[in-house]
Structure 1
Amino acid sequence: MLILTLALAIEAAIAYPGALFRAIGHPVSWIGALIAIFDRSLNWSDFSFPVRRLAGIVTILSLVAVSLAAGMAIEGLAAWGGPAGFAVMLIAVATLIATGSLDRHVAAVPRALAAEGLAGGRRAVSMIVGRDPETLDEPAVCRAAIESLAENASDGVTAPAVWFLVAGLPGMIAYKAINTADSMIGHRTERHRAFGWAAARLDDLVNLPASRLTALLFIAAAAVVPGASAAGALAAVRRDSGRHRSPNAGWPEAAMAGALGLRLAGPRSYGGVVVEDAWMGDGRAAASADDVRRALRLYRVAYAGAGVLVAALALGLGILGGGVLGGRM
């Protein structure tokens, strides 16, 4: 818990340096390169559907095995390193959480709208969403930014933290591998419908706890953020979360929509194909740059509160553990 608390604070403050990414990439990009190798090597169009599905299962099991082995190796090295080992663990965990990186990418959207108009907003939002940017007007650009913030808060912050607390660095890296595989091959396209099936289903499973917890964080934050509604967030989650095409994304998106009095999700275009999804929330569809800033305030309060809670638990458990050990001695 101490490592997680410090890692959240460090990544929120400095994110992942762009110069470092340009020099060596990022662990997620390394995982992505490995997934691409599997995709090229095992996902052949002349294979039958069952064979391609089996190849996808082999791929995801191999990724999880490699991730667990890498995490255990790093933890093993860190255990021998004293303060240096603690620093290694801290850096590894901070690298795999996107608290600050997500904040900066979403905050770039209203800045680009103000500086460059719709063209700038489309360019900025295309860095964080997969939908066709040229189809988006300004309210749609702002909704896309808010939806990305809500969903990636779960996938990029809550879920890695949860799996680190549950299974240490091996669990955290394995989660990132599963989530990256889903984003790369877990699509219902002709190429990946069979091969990506295992990645998509496993990603749905490992994100179940984080999506619900993220919705609770947004509801709690809405109770203290001026202009936000905890009751609206709770009502939207109860009414709309199960209507989303994803079993997980609807939870944080509905909570964010209800808290801000917006409608999110709905029909969207990906690669020229319109996806008819349900609306989350029953408020305004005409989101604005100010709404993106409001969403960021809600996000920051939610995760600042979560960080304080984790720190308090770490301190409390440390005191309790010290008392128990002191009593035994």
Structure 2
Amino acid sequence: MLAPLALLIERVVGYPPVLLGLVGHPVTWMGALIGWLEARLNQGGRRRAKGVLMLALLLGSCLAASLLIVAATRRVPFGWVAEAVLASSLLAQKELGRAVKLVADKLGLSLASGREAVSRIVGRDPDALDESGVAKAAIESLAESTSDGVVAPLFWLFVAGLPGIVLYKAINTADSMVGHRDRRYGEFGWASARLDDAVNWIPARLTALLVAGAAFLTRRTDPEGAWSTALRDARKHASPNAGWPEAAFAGALHISLGGPRAYGGEVHELPAFGEGRAELAASDILSALVLYWVAMNLLLGIAIGLGLALWRFV
């Protein structure tokens, strides 16, 4: 019951701001270690090998820490509850929903406010976005983060307990920091990017199924469109995984996501996902959030069912 309890705790409590101010967040600790290693290893020759070394040191440190925690909690009654509390800090359903809702609220006030809010959750140039661009960016972030912020860490928590979710978040954080195809990180971040693709392969496709299932339970959404769009359009994405949740959301909501994006003043032509409306507004973000929370309710129900089955038969 570790995984469903962690999901429920994060859903209700989130990560307390007071705790964040006092000790930071586990992901920021991972990021600090990645930054320290990158500054010392990402120079000179053989950068791909050095990137592999960085990743090995990161994962070895995280695995050792998580195994020590598990060993300590298993010595006390109901220690698994403490593990669930710790694991909940590596899930992001509550904060993700809050951050995307803020974009909808701010966009409803003004374009400038919407741009400022969406800049907190996406890396693209906010000043290049019109109202539809802000709405698209928020929904695309919601879709992708449903996979790598909730479904994937929960999947690896089920598979390998606390060490599984810790290692997943370490890999995902490394990819977000150094897994870029540019001059600085192209070689050094190669291993982080490839491993992130591997650990997200199953969860991304499960997320598309989850979204299609949630669409069955949500008014004015299209479950068949969610899955068929994912099957048709996911492969268009440069990532082997990110296209699945984005296409599923697009198909379920009868909208079009993707298209041109601006990063660092340079416009990148990206494929479109879905064949619905391309001009979006704040109301479309709210519709996506309704679908998201239904998906989270469905995920919690599935997690409880799996948890009970494993507790009973394993």
Q: Tell me, which stretches of 5 or more residues in structure 1 are unaligned?
A: 322-329
Following superposition of structure 1 onto structure 2, how do residues 94-173 of structure 1 map, counting pairs within 5 Å? Answer: 94-115=88-109, 117-173=110-166
Q: Could you tell me which amino acid in structure 1 is paired with residue 101 of structure 2?
A: A
Query: Quick one: distance in 2 between partners of 1:61 and 1:79?
Result: 27
Query: Quick one: distance in 2 between partners of 1:230 and 1:87?
Result: 36
Query: Quick one: distance in 2 between partners of 1:210 and 1:165?
Result: 12
Corresponding residue for 1:16?
15
The alpha carbon displacement at 1:211 in A equals 0.2
Query: Quick one: distance in 1 between partners of 2:199 and 2:308?
Result: 28
The alpha carbon displacement at 1:320 in A equals 4.7
Q: 2:49 aligns with which of 54, 68, 84?
A: 54
Q: Is the 8 A contact 2:147 2:245 kept in 1?
A: yes
Listed one character per residue, the Cα deviations across residues 234-258 of structure 1 (whole Å, up to 9, x for unaligned) are 2211210001111100000000000
Q: Tell me, which stretches of 5 or more residues in structure 2 are unaligned?
A: none
Q: Could you tell me which amino acid in structure 2 is paired with residue 160 of structure 1?
A: P
Q: Is the 8 A contact 2:233 2:274 kept in 1?
A: yes
Following superposition of structure 1 onto structure 2, how do residues 207-222 of structure 1 map, counting pairs within 5 Å? Answer: 207-222=200-215
Q: CA RMSD in A?
A: 1.2
Query: Quick one: distance in 2 between partners of 1:290 and 1:265?
Result: 18
Query: Quick one: distance in 2 between partners of 1:320 and 1:72?
Result: 25
Query: Quick one: distance in 2 between partners of 1:64 and 1:282?
Result: 41
The alpha carbon displacement at 1:14 in A equals 2.2
Query: Quick one: distance in 1 between partners of 2:156 and 2:5?
Result: 16
Query: 1:225 aligns to what SS in structure 2?
Result: coil
Query: 1:274 aligns to what SS in structure 2?
Result: strand
Q: Is the 8 A contact 1:11 1:101 kept in 2?
A: no
Listed one character per residue, the Cα deviations across residues 151-204 of structure 1 (whole Å, up to 9, x for unaligned) are 001001011111111111111111100000000010011111111111111101
Q: Is the 8 A contact 1:241 1:251 kept in 2?
A: yes
Q: Rg: which structure is higher?
A: 1
Corresponding residue for 2:32?
33
Q: Could you tell me which amino acid in structure 2 is paired with residue 278 of structure 1?
A: P
Q: Could you tell me which amino acid in structure 2 is paired with residue 211 of structure 1?
A: A
Is the aligned partner of 1:258 residue 2:251?
Answer: yes
Query: Quick one: distance in 2 between partners of 1:122 and 1:58?
Result: 39
Q: Could you tell me which amino acid in structure 2 is paired with residue 20 of structure 1?
A: L
Aligned residues: 314
Q: Is the 8 A contact 1:221 1:301 kept in 2?
A: yes
Corresponding residue for 2:224?
231
The alpha carbon displacement at 1:43 in A equals 0.8
The alpha carbon displacement at 1:267 in A equals 1.5
Query: Quick one: distance in 2 between partners of 1:164 and 1:93?
Result: 8
TM-score (norm 1): 0.93
Query: Quick one: distance in 1 between partners of 2:307 and 2:55?
Result: 33
TM-score (norm 2): 0.97
Q: 1:176 aligns with which of 169, 172, 176?
A: 169
Corresponding residue for 1:324?
none
Q: Could you tell me which amino acid in structure 2 is paired with residue 39 of structure 1?
A: E
Is the aligned partner of 1:64 residue 2:59?
Answer: yes
The alpha carbon displacement at 1:316 in A equals 3.8
The alpha carbon displacement at 1:67 in A equals 1.4
